[in-house]
Amino acid sequence: MRNDVRELRLTRGLSQGDLGKVLGVSRQTVNAIETGRYSPSLPLAITLARFFERAVEEVFHVDQE
Amino acid sequence: MSTKNDGKGGRWLVPVTSVVGGLAMFLAVGLNGDWVLGSLLLGIMVVYAAVLLLFRRSESVALLGGDEGDERQRTLRLRASDFGFSVLAVFCVGGFVVDLARGGDGMPWAVICGVGGASFAGALIVLSRRG
């Protein structure tokens, strides 16, 4: 699942650690989400989208088969 | 549903448990006359505890040290537990079969396999009913 977390984070001038603190997760988890190695739970995805003032589907893009 | 790292787990719990376990091994082996082996076992556990305390910035070490972690880290812990349990199950069943083939009665492998299998089945039943 692709996502725009990295781009959105950089537009806010945040480091992965900063975003992790806001979300209550580790820097490694933010990195894993950005690189697509980890798909966040629905609550975390919603929290992320709300933080960036976007809808979840504007941040996360499910790859169509 | 919490997605956050709530900080539970305790910085000292696993390291202290490791040292206490090492002391128990030291006494158990030492009182049977082998203080050298006892000291070696205690030393291994102390070094393990020290690694857990000194290298907590490593995610892997922090998780080994008992950090509850966030949702991804909890998933990692579950997957690692699943892998470890699977390896242990194969090892125990293998030991059971080899012992039977050697003319043994399969003990204590049978008990270990039974406890592991019953725990797994019981947990699966309870968790599936809870949803």
pLDDT tens digits, A26-65: 999 999 999 999 999 999 999 999 999 999 999 999 876 5
Predicted ipTM of the assembly: 0.85
Amino acid, res. B6: D
H or E element: which one contains A3?
strand A2-3
Q: CB distance B4–A28 less than 8 Å?
A: no
**C-alpha dist (Å) from residue A27 to A15, B1, B83, B111:** 9, 20, 25, 43
Report the candidate in B14, B73, B128 with the shortest Cα–Cα distance to residue A27.
B73
Chain B CA closest to residue A26: B70
Q: pLDDT above 90 covers what percent of chain B?
A: 79
Helix locations, chain B, DSSP H = 13-30, 35-54, 59-64, 71-101, 109-130
CA distance B84 to B103: 29
Query: Which CATH number applies to A2-51: 1.20.120.1760, 1.10.260.40, 3.40.50.720, 3.30.420.130?
Result: 1.10.260.40
Is the domain of B36 the same as that of B50?
yes
Q: CB distance A44–B73 less than 8 Å?
A: no
pLDDT tens digits, B85-100: 999 999 999 999 999 9
pLDDT tens digits, A1-23: 899 999 999 999 999 999 999 99
Last residue in a domain, options B69, B86, B115: B69
Cβ atoms of A40 and A48 closer than 8 Å: yes
Q: Where are the domains of chain A?
A: 2-51
Instruction: Classify strands A2-3 and A60-61 as parallel, antiparallel or unpaired.
Output: antiparallel
- Check if A26 contacts B (Cβ < 8 Å): yes
If DSSP codes are grouped into helix, strand and coil, which group holds residue A60?
strand
Q: CB distance B70–A29 less than 8 Å?
A: yes
Domain total in chain B: 2
